[in-house]
Chains A and B, each alone.
Chain A
Amino acid sequence: MTTQTSSIPTLNTKSAIQPLTYQQLVWRRFRHHRIAMWGGVGILLLFSFILVGSIFIPETKANEVDLRSRLKGPTLEHLMGTDSTGRDIFSRIIYGGQISLMVGVLAVGLSVTLGTLIGGIAAYFGGWVDIVLMRFTEAMLSIPSLFLLIVLGKFMGRDIQTINFLGRSFSGSVGIVIVVIGITSWMYLARIVRANVLSLKEMDYIASARALGASNSRIFFSHLIPNTLSAIIVSATLGLAGSILSEAYVSFLGLGVQPPTASWGNILTSAQSFIQRGSWWMWVFPSAFIIFTILCINLLGDGLRDAMDPRLSNKKG
């Protein structure tokens, strides 16, 4: 992109206006979106808290059961108190955060892949392919997503193994949650991509690509998808918030990430039974982290949407 702009002959005066590339335009619009910038800063802070925290606090501390100090409120030793088996909530939030964010990012990756492929293929091939795929999308959308999550979580959560990844061992439920969230959240993106590809494929540059002998997959992946990328990025960002929330919901209901592996959702599961005894710290701290994360991502996503694709502004994804 930059090579293109520099090759355009410009006047040799300093006041000459350089045409802005798309990226520069986006960045300029995004920078002026103050709240979105704060959202971005918030996410960076959160990431560094979780990473730095895991350097200072070993994972064994997060899973260490100490029945003598169970259900203790916040003290200097346990900054955010302890849960019903005496595990330190502060360290569980750090390690649970890693899991929650990882689940969110990977689930969005899966749902973006599915959504782009399904929406793109439906629009590109049209006809029966389009009809069947879109009715399928509609059917998936008609079943309330939490119900779908529960049924799928129940189905896939029958035999859970422990997996080893990056030198840590997780409950296999982490992988299951990622897949379950991924395959229940691609529908909106599929519709957006379909609408975009439908209009793009009628354009002249596609006809000329075809005249040059480009194959279907080349037209699809190198010409159609890159041109709908801004919609995909925006919906992936907002989808990240949705995935993290979904993880919290299924784990809260006990179908998601299984203990001892911590996640923000499953710290709250036990809060439900002990809140009637007034254990407020089990509820406040993990929720605060969830809300802060979702808020920052939503702010960032809104800003990105306004910056990348102002036409989309008033729609809710």
Chain B
Amino acid sequence: MWSYLFRRIIQALFTLLIITMLCWVLTRLSADPMSQYANKQGLTQADKDRIRHELGLDRTIPAEWVQWMPVSDLTKQKIIEASGWPIQYASWLGLALQGQLGYSFFSRQPVLGMIAQRLPLTLTLMAAAEFFTIIISVGLGIISAVKKYSWVDNLITSLSFVGFSMPIFFIALGLMLIFAVQFKAWGLPYLPTGADIWDPLNPYELARHLALPVACLVIIQTAGYARFIRSSLLEVLNLDYVRTARAKGLTERAVLFKHALRNAALPFVTIVGLDIPYLLGGALVTESVYAWPGMGRLFWEYAQRGDFPVVLGVLLLVSIAVVVFTIITDLVYTLVDPRIRLS
């Protein structure tokens, strides 16, 4: 167990190193922070150089080190020019390891602070969505497994197949059209589209603004989960120990909830555990349609501006969460399922 954990952590560290490189290279390539100054009037070359220096974009291997290298002067010049990126990556990584993700180019605020500010709202949205998703999908999964091949099962199965094939913005826009726009037009009590200013500390306002984005996430996720619960419950219901439980004369309810469901829920734990970190990144599309001020929207807003410290910060945090949760899920799974041995 411990040696397994140790090996997994070493592997994960290696993966994380590759992740930081990937994220850094991609964001650096995609966003040239200087491009926003390209057409600014009244900005001299000296100003631009000063900005480049402040943002750390001119950092290279110190020239005096290169002087010692046994190569021609031209090559030395090239090394100094090309060395910018590895040096910048290394210095960024060094700071990131100390928990400093730098400052946003646009808002001039520390990235970590911006993320910390958005995190509670993303977590609220995700916790609410996950809570309803699990309740509804487990319920639907049980119903359709118990009433296998009945019309209820057929209905649930086909609906979840359709739901599985839907892009989330279809549901987001649809719910908005019906409950925000048309309800308002019909004079019914309506839900906000998110385009207004509201106070997240007021529970009533919070609930009103949560309703549509949560509904939209629940619909999409339930479609996948319900199908999963159904098939894993059906598999368990065919096992011998369930027949034994029935033969003992237990009620169907006890067989289902005390015996079958517990084992059927095991693989479900893994699925949910592996999905949680992705939720941290927020539902980017849902958040941007409903203007929910969470992490996904933070990423999207700043990605459009080419503000790479923010983009990099969010990417890094979410990816680390994914790697960490994968290990945690593995371990939890072995704790709840003694049949599995780690080796």
B37 contacts A by Cβ under 8 Å: no
Tell me if B19 and A143 are in contact (CB < 8 A).
yes
* A291 located at the interface, meaning its Cβ lies under 8 Å from any Cβ of chain B in the complex: yes
Q: A139-B19, A248-B167 are in contact. Are A144 and B318 (CB under 8 A)?
A: yes
State in angstroms the CA–CA spacing of A269 and B193 once bound together. 17
A50 at the interface (CB under 8 A from B): no
**In the complex, A27 has a CB within 8 A of chain B:** no
Interface residues on A, range: 35 or more
Contact B165 A146 (CB under 8 A): no
Q: Tell me if B's interface is mostly helix, strand, loop or mixed.
A: helix
Q: Which residues of A contact B19 (CB under 8 A)?
A: 139, 142-143
A152 to B303, CA, bound (A): 11
**How far does the alpha carbon of A143 sit from the alpha carbon of B285 in the complex, in Å?**
16
Which residues, 283 to 333 on B, are CB-close (under 8 Å) to A?
A: 284-285, 288-289, 299-300, 303-304, 306, 311, 314-315, 318-319, 322-323, 326
A146: B residues at CB distance < 8 A? 284-285
Asked if A143 and B22 make an inter-chain contact with CB atoms under 8 angstroms apart, the answer reads: yes
Do the beta carbons of A150 and B167 come within 8 Å of each other?
no
A144 near B15 (CB under 8 angstroms)?
no
Residues of B within 8 A of A268 (CB): 169-170, 173
B245 within 8 A of A: no
Write out the residue numbers on chain A whose beta carbons fall within 8 Å of the beta carbon of B29: 155
By a CB distance below 8 angstroms, the chain A residues around B193 are: 276
Interface size class for chain B? 35 or more
Q: A146-B285, A241-B165, A252-B167 are in contact. List 20 more A-B contacts (CB 8 A).
A: A135-B14, A138-B15, A140-B22, A141-B322, A147-B284, A151-B315, A268-B170, A272-B169, A272-B173, A276-B176, A287-B167, A290-B167, A291-B165, A291-B166, A291-B170, A295-B165, A298-B165, A314-B231, A316-B224, A316-B228
**B300 contacts which chain A residues (CB < 8 A)?**
150, 253
CA distance A197 to B19 in the complex (A): 26
Tell me if B182 counts as interface (CB < 8 A to partner A).
yes
A234 to B234, CA, bound (A): 24
A245 near B: Cβ within 8 Å? Answer: yes
Answer whether A290 and B170 are a contact pair too, CB < 8 Å, given A143-B23, A151-B26, A151-B30.
yes
CA distance A314 to B161 in the complex (A): 15
Cβ A287 vs Cβ B18 within 8 A: no
**Does any Cβ of B come within 8 Å of A294's Cβ?**
yes
Asked whether any CB of chain B lies closer than 8 Å to the CB of A275, the reply is yes
With A143-B23, A253-B285 in contact, do A291 and B162 touch (Cβ < 8 Å)?
A: yes
Q: Is the CB of A278 within 8 A of B164?
A: no
Asked if B257 is at the interface (CB within 8 A of a chain A CB), the reply is: no
In the complex the two chains form, what is the Cα distance from A166 to B326 in whole Å? 46
Contact B169 A151 (CB under 8 A): no
Q: Within the complex, which residue of A139, A144, A150, A277 is in contact with B303, where a contact is CB–CB below 8 Å? A: A150
